[in-house]
């Protein structure tokens, strides 16, 4: 943070004689301070007119500023900050502040110094003559920074002119920055030491990008009072006032355990909720793929006023929660907080709004001038991301979830969306949500006064609605079941797609088996949780209890249909029962609010609901198995003329295979059959030895598109009359005798509009033939099967492109299948072949690929690899989360019933060191440490404690304490008390030596 961006350059004379070189190096298109992305993207030519680039002649400092802040108001607006650039290392260089003279340099002509350039794009170039003897080198630096006021610039000019060791100081800051980055990555368990340095580097990069997306905790489980006070004030000014004295009495720095103790003692549900939600994260700076126009977020890491640190996070909830999943393995005590944050940002009708921030949540709004502006809810992430958190907490702290069954400390997000009534959704499933502008305005005004809690749902008396864990879970699960279409999946009718937002056209007619597969795993988890629960009854809101009973009754009344495939008419009946129940529930609350009374649902009723739900889900999964042993991912639903609901299948997709492998539905043998089929399918891309999202179809060339067969035209008297009459509003005939729709028609809606605007003489014919013409249009373009951007572009998630995040999801799902087979004692041939698939997928991801094949340095994760190109977009991928989880699965660190287990049954012997090596790591006190690891060993960290694997005859764990004592454990299971000390990051444990029998390894 001291000097900004630093570019080092070095020129080396590899020859045998002296050379003299004219060097020009620098940065083009340096923006002045105060130009945001909107201003630059929309009015860059106007911005150029305000630009002034100046050179401070003695120091060589380039100053890039606006002549005034760009506003259209008739008032002065001074631009009092600048961006700057300077250099070190070249003797008396010439300076350029624009690109105007670059061509002169290229042609061998001398360039003239630039000291004041107006109304041109800024640049900072240095030009100098460099003479090098044989073997000699010359190094120099270019330094650029932003947001500098006059005082800071004066200080920098003085340093450049008078600091004799400035070059050394800059290098020291570079080293310090490197060490701080290593500290951050180390805190999230990103350091490893094995015989495979490429894999170690890739794990470091994965961890770094994961914390860049989701953030990392500031200092273990330490909380600084100033930040908590600020957070509480921003969340709820009233609560902050009520508990001011209690918070003031806390130490300036205290632990998470004390905060939770204070929260419970308060006996105030809202204060406890806010304490539970608090997450002291920092470094969060990449909150959604920046190639998406709708991803716009703030990056707050330090104060622009005094440079003090800021603890902050915000992001697309579909991104940030998945990154927290990997982070939680290094900071497991924060998992409860992550779950609370997730649940309290969900609505009563079962969905999560778009953005999550430290100060609450936010939603998309309608912006008429922005073509990317849209509203809606995503579905599949909700189920699987929440489930992963719940599974994690139950493994680490068994029984904790049960303590929330009847505690009303959760709330509902009050998002100003209103999902339409079921009948309206059925008529137009692509337009299903109304934006309540008045409610949006009301919430935002109230939030200015109260804080983030103003966006929470209240009743008619303005009392906040509280709910327990089970009510929150039911709200989400019932929302999914209310959109369940038997044999098809979960109806995608909330205006947003799922994981692959390039499949955006599936919204409306799309039906997701992907969500259904994950919903099955969700119900399996709660089936096991309820089996061990002690509560006899759970109290939920009356309105939700009625909704629950109606959904249960609909499923129960049609249980007999599960004996065979469900027909289109029965499918409609079931769908109506589920959809109308949800609609009645939603609109009762939209119009009247929650009344505040509760009804008891017995544990037995919940168990029965899970059982009947699983029966219907399993029935649909069985129907969605393809003849080639793959499974359908997405289907299309159609409301037939009779009112029945039919289902049609889309081509195979990788996403569906990953989801069904994760669903806990397949046996080990079935999982193997699927993976064998996948390897032989159109989804396998041999050049990268990996998998694409869907088959790479060849789109028609331009001249082959929009050709209407003559026999189709002959079916419509209207089309023939239009052609004969020379009316080209809908159809035209070219000189070759071929027919085409008007080039202005983009879709059926445009065609309908064009038909309605035809002259009066065609009206009678139109009444009888409109459907025929629309059908011909559909036959030509097949828009029914249009999935969205995914089927029309060639990068990102497009045609022929590998999207690495889904490949890593596949790797993690296959790892789960391998572990299930090993732990379940499956035959060696099945287990062995599953492992072969796992290792092949792992290698396909590419850490050992050559840069030529990978298209980049393979130690960095990349977003996607289009057909015929190398990897694109470094680090911009959720892949890093799955790769981190897979890596620790390979290393064999598992937690069961609150105890740490070491079971490296997937780890290969080749990863153990052939020659001893020093493992450099950072302890929880941020101290650099090192440990000499002998051959036949490897090292990594668990909750920032170094773990050294040794190959030995007898399996055991040696826990080395900071006070010099040692705990010896027979076997590879660490007891509950010691495991808790590891997870709590107490600092009591210095190192763990784990002795593993070679037979345990692969």
Q: Report phi then psi at 438, rounded to 5.
A: -65, -45
Shared domain for 604 and 580, answered yes or no, is: yes
Residue 268 lies in a domain: no
Shared domain for 681 and 721, answered yes or no, is: no
SS3 664: coil
Shared domain for 908 and 778, answered yes or no, is: no
The pairing of beta strand 489-491 with beta strand 410-411: unpaired
Are the beta carbons of 402 and 470 closer than 8 angstroms? no
Residue 204 lies in a domain: no
Closest alpha carbon to 606 in 671, 666, 523, 690: 523
pLDDT, position 286? 58
pLDDT, position 697? 86
461: how many CB neighbours lie within 10 A of its CB?
A: 7
- Under the banding of pLDDT at 50, 70 and 90, the label for residue 288 is low
389: β partners = none
Closest alpha carbon to 139 in 6, 312, 293, 268: 6
**pLDDT above 60 (res 294):** no
pLDDT, position 192? 99
Q: Tell me the pLDDT tens digit for each residue of 976-995.
A: 999 999 999 999 999 999 99
Shared domain for 724 and 749, answered yes or no, is: yes
Are the beta carbons of 157 and 61 closer than 8 angstroms? yes
pLDDT, position 758? 96
Shared domain for 306 and 319, answered yes or no, is: yes
How much is the mean pLDDT over the chain? 95
Q: Distances from the Cα of 63 to the Cαs of 55, 924, 977, in angstroms?
A: 6, 42, 59
Q: Tell me the pLDDT tens digit for each residue of 147-165.
A: 999 999 999 999 999 999 9
Q: Tell me the pLDDT tens digit for each residue of 108-145.
A: 999 999 999 999 999 999 999 999 999 999 999 999 99
Shared domain for 685 and 599, answered yes or no, is: no
pLDDT, position 769? 95
Residue 376 lies in a domain: yes
Determine what percent of the chain is predicted with pLDDT higher than 90: 89
* Total domains in the fold of the chain: 5
Shared domain for 145 and 189, answered yes or no, is: no
Are the beta carbons of 501 and 588 closer than 8 angstroms? no
Q: Report phi then psi at 67, rounded to 5.
A: -70, -25
Q: Token pair for residue 934?
A: 């002998």
Q: What is the mean pLDDT of the segment spanning 846-869? A: 95
On the CB side of 896, CA atoms within 13 Å amount to: 9
pLDDT, position 316? 82
Q: What is the mean pLDDT of the segment spanning 193-212? A: 97
Q: What share of the chain is helix, strand, coil (3-state, %, to 5)?
A: 45, 20, 35
pLDDT, position 366? 84
Q: Tell me the pLDDT tens digit for each residue of 357-366.
A: 999 999 989 8
Polymer length in residues for the chain: 1002
Q: Tell me the pLDDT tens digit for each residue of 450-470.
A: 999 999 999 999 999 999 999
Shared domain for 930 and 918, answered yes or no, is: yes
Q: Give the lowest-confidence range in 252-261, 445-454, 493-502.
A: 493-502
**pLDDT above 60 (res 879):** yes
Look at the block and give the residue holding tokens 């450099």: 920
Q: Token pair for residue 582?
A: 């949800």
- Under the banding of pLDDT at 50, 70 and 90, the label for residue 295 is low
384: how many CB neighbours lie within 10 A of its CB?
A: 22
Residue 736 lies in a domain: yes
Determine what percent of the chain is predicted with pLDDT higher than 70: 98
Shared domain for 735 and 864, answered yes or no, is: no
Q: Tell me the pLDDT tens digit for each residue of 625-641.
A: 999 999 999 999 999 99
pLDDT, position 372? 60
- Under the banding of pLDDT at 50, 70 and 90, the label for residue 623 is very high
Q: Tell me the pLDDT tens digit for each residue of 315-354.
A: 888 888 999 999 999 999 999 999 999 999 999 999 999 8
- Under the banding of pLDDT at 50, 70 and 90, the label for residue 305 is confident
202: how many CB neighbours lie within 10 A of its CB?
A: 24
pLDDT, position 866? 93
Shared domain for 567 and 578, answered yes or no, is: yes
Cβ-based neighbours of 805, under 8 Å, separated by 6 or more: 863, 877, 878, 879, 882
Range of the domain at 934: 185-193+892-1000
964 CB-contact burial (10 Å; exposed 0-12 / middle 13-18 / buried 19+): exposed
Residue 294 lies in a domain: yes
Quote the pTM value: 0.94
Q: Tell me the pLDDT tens digit for each residue of 921-951.
A: 999 999 999 999 999 999 999 999 999 999 9
- Under the banding of pLDDT at 50, 70 and 90, the label for residue 177 is very high
The per-residue DSSP string of 604-630 comes to HHHHHHHHHHHHHHHHHHHHTB-TTS-
Q: What is the mean pLDDT of the segment spanning 84-103? A: 97
Are the beta carbons of 762 and 722 closer than 8 angstroms? yes
pLDDT, position 378? 79
Of 839, 857, 883, which marks where a domain is finished? 883
In angstroms, rounded to a whole number, what is the distance separating the alpha carbons of residues 158 and 134? 36
Q: What is the mean pLDDT of the segment spanning 848-871? A: 94
Q: Tell me the pLDDT tens digit for each residue of 15-56.
A: 999 999 999 999 999 999 999 888 998 899 999 999 999 999
**pLDDT above 80 (res 960):** yes
Of 883, 912, 944, which marks where a domain is finished? 883
Shared domain for 785 and 847, answered yes or no, is: no
pLDDT, position 354? 85
Residue 471 lies in a domain: yes
Residue 229 lies in a domain: no
pLDDT, position 877? 82
Shared domain for 619 and 503, answered yes or no, is: yes
pLDDT, position 370? 66
Of 775, 790, 805, which marks where a domain is finished? 790
**pLDDT above 60 (res 525):** yes
- Under the banding of pLDDT at 50, 70 and 90, the label for residue 790 is confident
**pLDDT above 60 (res 287):** no
Residue 269 lies in a domain: no
């Amino acid at each position: 943070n001291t000097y900004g961006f630093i570019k080092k350059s070095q020129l080396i004379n590899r020859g045998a004689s002296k050379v003299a070189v004219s060097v020009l190096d620098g940065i083009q298109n340096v923006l002045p301070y105060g130009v945001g992305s909107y201003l630059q993207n929309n009015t860059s030519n106007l911005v150029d007119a305000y630009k002034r680039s100046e050179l401070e002649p003695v120091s060589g400092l380039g100053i890039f500023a606006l002549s005034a802040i760009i506003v259209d108001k008739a008032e002065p607006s001074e631009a009092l900050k600048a961006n700057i650039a300077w250099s070190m290392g070249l003797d008396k260089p010439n300076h350029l502040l624009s690109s105007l003279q670059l061509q002169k340099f290229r042609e061998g002509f001398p360039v003239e110094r630039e000291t004041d350039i107006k109304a041109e794009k800024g640049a900072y170039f240095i030009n100098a003559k460099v003479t090098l003897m044989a073997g000699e080198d010359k190094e120099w630096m270019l330094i650029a920074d932003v947001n500098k006021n006059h005082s800071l610039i004066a200080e920098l000019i003085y340093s450049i002119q008078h600091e004799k060791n400035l070059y050394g100081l800059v290098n020291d800051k570079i080293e310090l920055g490197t060490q701080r980055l290593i500290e951050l990555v180390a805190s999230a368990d990103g350091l490893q030491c094995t015989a495979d340095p490429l894999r170690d580097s890739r794990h470091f990069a994965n961890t770094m990008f994961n914390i860049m997306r989701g953030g990392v905790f500031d200092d273990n489980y330490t909380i600084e009072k100033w930040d908590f006070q600020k957070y509480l004030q921003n969340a709820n000014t009233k609560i902050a006032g009520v508990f001011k004295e209690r918070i003031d009495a806390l130490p300036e720095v205290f632990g998470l355990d004390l905060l939770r103790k204070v929260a419970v003692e308060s006996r105030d549900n809202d204060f406890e909720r806010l304490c539970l939600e608090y997450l002291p994260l920092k470094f969060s700076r990449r909150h959604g793929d920046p190639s998406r126009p709708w991803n716009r977020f703030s990056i707050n890491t330090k104060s622009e006023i005094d440079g003090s640190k800021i603890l902050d996070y915000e992001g697309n909830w579909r991104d940030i929660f998945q990154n927290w999943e990997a982070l939680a393995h290094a900071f497991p005590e924060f998992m409860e907080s992550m779950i609370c944050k997730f649940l309290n940002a969900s609505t009563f009708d079962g969905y999560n709004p778009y953005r999550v921030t430290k100060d609450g949540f936010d939603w998309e709004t309608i912006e008429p001038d922005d073509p990317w502006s849209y509203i809606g809810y995503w579905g599949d992430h909700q189920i699987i991301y929440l489930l992963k958190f719940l599974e994690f907490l139950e493994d680490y702290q068994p029984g904790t979830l049960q303590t929330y069954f009847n505690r009303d400390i959760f709330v509902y997000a009050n998002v100003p969306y209103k999902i339409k009534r079921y009948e309206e959704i059925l008529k137009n499933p692509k337009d299903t949500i109304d934006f309540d502008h008045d409610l949006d305005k009301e919430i935002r005004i109230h939030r200015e006064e109260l804080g983030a809690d103003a966006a929470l749902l209240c009743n008619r008396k303005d009392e906040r609605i509280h709910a327990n864990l089970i009510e929150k879970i039911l709200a989400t699960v019932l929302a999914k079941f209310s959109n369940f279409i038997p044999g098809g999946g979960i109806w995608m009718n909330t205006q947003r797609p799922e994981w692959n937002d390039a499949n955006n056209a599936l919204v409306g007619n799309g039906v997701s088996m992907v969500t259904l597969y994950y919903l099955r795993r969700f119900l399996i988890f709660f089936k096991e949780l309820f089996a061990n629960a002690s509560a006899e009854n759970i109290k939920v809101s009356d309105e939700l209890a009625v909704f629950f009973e109606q959904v249960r009754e609909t499923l129960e009344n049609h249980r007999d249909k599960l004996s065979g495939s469900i027909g289109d008419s029965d499918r409609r009946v079931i769908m109506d029962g589920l959809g109308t129940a949800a609609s009645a529930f939603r609109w009762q609350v939209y119009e009247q609010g929650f009344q505040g009374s509760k009804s008891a649902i017995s544990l037995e009723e919940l168990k029965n609901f899970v059982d009947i739900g699983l029966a219907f889900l399993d029935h649909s999964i069985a129907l969605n198995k393809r003849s080639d042993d793959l499974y359908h991912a997405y289907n299309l639903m159609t409301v037939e003329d009779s009112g029945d609901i039919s289902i049609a299948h889309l081509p195979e997709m990788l996403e569906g295979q990953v989801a069904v492998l994760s669903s806990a539905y397949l046996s080990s043998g079935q999982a193997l059959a699927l993976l064998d089929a996948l390897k032989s399918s159109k989804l396998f891309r041999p050049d990268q030895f990996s998998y694409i999202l869907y088959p790479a179809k060849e789109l028609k060339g331009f001249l082959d598109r929009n050709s209407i067969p003559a026999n189709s035209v002959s079916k419509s008297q209207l089309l023939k009359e239009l052609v004969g009459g020379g009316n080209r509003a809908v159809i035209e005939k070219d000189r070759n005798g071929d027919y085409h729709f008007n080039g202005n028609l983009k879709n059926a809606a445009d065609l309908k509009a064009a038909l309605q605007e035809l002259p009066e003489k065609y009206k009678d014919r139109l009444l009888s033939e409109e459907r025929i013409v629309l059908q011909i249009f559909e036959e030509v373009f097949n828009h029914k099967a249009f999935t969205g951007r995914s089927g029309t572009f060639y990068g990102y998630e497009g045609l022929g492109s590998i999207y690495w995040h889904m490949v890593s999801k596949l790797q993690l799902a296959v790892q789960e299948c391998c572990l299930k087979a090993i732990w379940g004692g499956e035959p060696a041939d099945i287990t062995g072949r599953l492992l072969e698939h796992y290792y092949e997928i792992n290698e396909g991801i590419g850490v050992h690929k050559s840069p030529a094949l990978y298209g980049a340095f393979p130690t960095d994760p990349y977003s996607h690899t289009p057909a015929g190109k190398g990897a694109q977009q470094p680090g911009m991928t959720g892949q890093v989360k799955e790769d981190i989880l897979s890596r620790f699965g390979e290393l064999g660190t598992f937690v069961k019933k609150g105890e740490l287990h070491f079971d490296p049954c997937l780890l290969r012997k080749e990863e153990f060191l052939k020659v001893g090596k020093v493992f450099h790591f950072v302890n929880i006190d941020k101290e650099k440490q090192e440990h000499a690891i002998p051959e036949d060993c490897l090292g990594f960290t668990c909750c920032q404690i170094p773990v050294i694997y040794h190959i030995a005859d007898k399996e055991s764990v040696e826990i080395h304490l900071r006070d010099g004592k040692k705990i010896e454990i027979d076997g590879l299971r660490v007891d509950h008390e010691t495991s808790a000390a590891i997870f709590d990051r107490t600092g009591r444990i210095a190192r763990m030596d784990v002795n593993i029998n070679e037979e345990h390894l692969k």
